[in-house]
Chains A and B, each alone.
Chain A
Amino acid sequence: MFYGVSLTAILVALWLTLSGPFTLSGDYPIVMTLGVVSITLAVALTFRMRIVDRETVPVAPAFPLFAYWSWLGGEILKANLAVTRLVMKPELDIEPRLVRVPAEQRSGLGLCVFANSITLTPGTVTVDVEEDGFLVHALDTSFTDPAGFAEMGARSDAASDGKRETR
C-alpha cells in the first residue's frame, strides 16, 4: 500500500512538472483530466501485474542513492579524464584486461546499481554477470585496481540496502 501511494505521488508530481502551468483555464481541464485518467490507469495496471514493491518503487533508498550518485559523479569525472588522456596521447599505449570482480550485494537492486556503476565509469564495462561476481573488461591495467572496485561495491551496497550491521 505504501509503495502504491508513493508511486501515485511520484506520477502526479511528474505529470504536473511536465505539463505546464497549474491553472484550470483554457485547455488545462482536458490536460488535467487526461493526467488523472492515465495515472489511475498506470497505477491500476502495476497493481494488477503485482510488480509494486521495494524494487520497482525505490523510495526508501532514494536519498542514499542520490548521495551515492554524487560520489559516483566524481569518480566518473576522474575516469573520463584518464580515458581521454589515454586516447588522445600521440603514442597509443594500452593493455586491455578482462577481470573478475567479486560482488557481495544483498539484493538485485544492489547488484544492478553496482554493475551499472562499473559500466558508467569509462574504462570499465561489465561484460557478463556470473554467480558471485561480474566479468569486467578494462581498457588498461590502470583501471583494474581491486581496491577501487571494492570501495564502489561497498558504497553501492550501503546506498541500496542500508548499512551492513542492520541486517
Chain B
Amino acid sequence: MITQDQGFFGRLTWDSFPVAALIRHPGTNEIVANAAAAVVVVGVVVVVALLSWFRLWGPLWRDWLTSADHKKIGIMYVVFAVVMLARGVLEGVVMRAQQAAGPGDGFLAAEHFAELFSTHGTIMIFFVAVPFVFGIANYVVPLMIGARDVAFPVMNQISLGLTVSAGMMLMVSLVVGEFSTGGWTAYPPYTGAAFNPGVGPDYWIWAIVVSGIGTTLTGINFAVTIYKLRAPGMTFMRLPMYCWTIICSSILIVFAMPPLGVAALLLAADRYLDFHFFTNDLGGNMMNYANLFWLFGHPEVYLLVLPAYGIYSEVFATFSAKRLYGYNSLVIATMSIAILSFTVWLHHFFTMGQSALINAVFGIATMLIAIPTGVKVYDWMATLWRGRIRFSVPMLYGLAFLMLFVIGGLSGVILANPTVDYQVHNTLFLVAHFHNVLLPGVLFGLLAAYNYWFPKAFGFRLNEGWGRVSVALWTLGFMLTFLPLYFVGLLGMPRRSFSWEDPDFHPYMIVALIGALVVLGALLSVLVQLWVSIRDRDRTRVPAGDPWDGRTLEWSIPAPPPAYNFAIIPRVSDRDEFAAAKEGGAAYPSPAAYEDIDIPRNTGIGFILCVLSGVWMFALVWWIWWLAILASVLIILAIIFWSFDSSTELTIPAEEVRKAHEAWLEQVRQAPAIDRDDETTSRNRGLARPDLEPAT
C-alpha cells in the first residue's frame, strides 16, 4: 500500500544504500552486507574495464548480444547461470558458517540471514537451475532433432533478455535497498505491505514476474520446436530421450508458470493497490496464495529434473556404448511424472488443516510419482548392464547421481506420508531432501551435460583430470553438507534458523560447514577445469565433431557447428540415427546438391527489452512512477517497431555452404578413426571407430 508522498526518485534515498548503515553503526553484519555489494560493484567495473581494454564491445554486441542463434543464446544462458551459481553457493557457505558459529546468535543479524536464504532459494531455482537447464536445451535440442534453429529465434532472445534482467534485480538488491526476507516462497501475510512495507518483497515479485514471462516464452518455444521442427523421419518414438524430457518440461512450463505469475501479481496488487487477496483483513485469504504458489512450485521441480533425467539417459547410453534400455518405459515414465506433478501440490502444506481424507489422497498421489521414477532408475541400470562402460566425467556424474538420488527418493517418499510430514515439515529434514534431489538430480545432470556437450559447442574437450576432481568434490561436498541435515531435521531443528541453542546440533553444523567449503572447492574446480581446458585447447580439438562415439544427430556435424547447424537436413530412420549410420558405414555422406539456407538475422530487440524491463522493475520497486510509465510505453513501442521489420532472415548462399561443408568432410577424412581407448588422448580429433567387436 503506497503511503507517503513521493519525490522524483520515489522512495529511493541515500539510506537505501547499505553503505549508509555501515557508516552509522559498523559491525560484522554490515561488513558482510557491504562486502557483497562491493563484490557486485567491483565485478561490474572489472567486466566493463576488461571489455574496454580488449576492445570487445563490438564483438560482444555483434556476435552475442544481438545474435538470435540458439547456440549462442544457449551459451549465454549457461554463463549467466554459472555467475548466479557462484553467488548462490557463496550465500550457502555464509549461511552454513552462521549456523556452525555455534549455539547463540552467530555473526549475522537475523534479517540479513533471512535475506540470504530468500535470495539463495530464489537464485538457485529461477536464475541457476532454470537458465542452466534451458541453456543446455537451447544448445542441444535443435541439433538433436536436425533443425536449423528453434521455432522462434527472436522470442528465444527475448526470453534470455527477460531472465537476465530479472536476475540482475537480485544483484541490484545487494547494492540498493534490501531483498525480501520471506524465503523463496514469499508467503503472505508476512510479505504483505502491513508486515513488510520495505522494498524487499517488491524485488522478489518483479524478478519473479519478469523471469516467469521469459520462462513461459521459452516453454512455448521448445514445445513448438520439438512438435514442428523435427527432421523428416524423426517420429515421436525416434525422438532422443533428452528431447522427450524437454518437451515434457516445456509443457509443464506452459501450464505451471501462470500460477506463479498470478500469485506474484496478486501479491503485488495487495502491496501496491491495497487489494485484499491475501491480507489478514477484509476477506483476504493467504491459503489461496499457498495453493497458487505450489500449483506452480511442484511442477517446477519436475520441469527441472526431467531434463536432467534426459541428460543421464543420453550419457548412460553413450558411455556404455549401448542402446538406451527400455525407451518406451522411459517415455511413459516421463509423461506420467509430468502429469502426476500437477496432482500433488498440496503435499507442500499438509499441515494447513485440511481433512485427513484430502491429505491421504494427496499423500498417495505423491507416492505414485515414486513408481515411474523408480522405473527410470532401473532402466538406467539396465542400460549399464552388459555395456562397455567408460568412466568419463559425465558417466561419473551419472553414477554419483544414481547412488545419491535414490536416497533423496527415499526421503521424498517418507515426506509423502502426512503423518511423518507433520513432524519433519519446515525442518532441516526437508531442506536436506530437496537439496538431495536438486544437487545430485539436477545439478549433477547439468554438469554432466556441460562436460558432455562442451566439445560440440567449442570444438575442444574439457580437461578430464580436473573434471574428475570436480566430480569427487561435488559428491563429497554434497554428502558432508546435506546428509547431516537429515539428522538435525529429525531432531527438530526448524529450517531458516539463524540461531539455535541445542548443543546436540553442533557437530552436525560443523560437518555441514566443512561440506559447504568442499562444495565451494567443487565450484572452483569447475572454473579451474575450464581455464586449464582453454589453455590446452590445441591438444584437445575435435573438429570432426564426434569425440564420444555419440549416438544422436548432434554428433554428426562439425564441432563447433556452423551457424546453420546442418548443411543438409538429415533424414532419420533410427532412434540412434548417428550410431546406426556409423554402423552401416553411412555416416558423413557427401550431399549431391546444396541449397540456400535462411538463418535468423541479428536483432537488438532482446537486449532492448532486457534493459527496458530492468528499468521498469527498478522503477516499480522504488515507486518511481514516471519512470515505470515511461519504461512501459517504451517496451510497447519497441515491440511495435520490431514488428515492422520485415527482413528477419539472412540467406547463406548454397555455394558458401558447399565450401564449408566439403572442407569439413575433408577434415573428417584426414582425421584418424580412434578407438575408445584413446578417447581422452590428444589423438581424439572427433572421429570415432565403431566399438562393436570385442576389444583386444
Bound pair (A, B): no
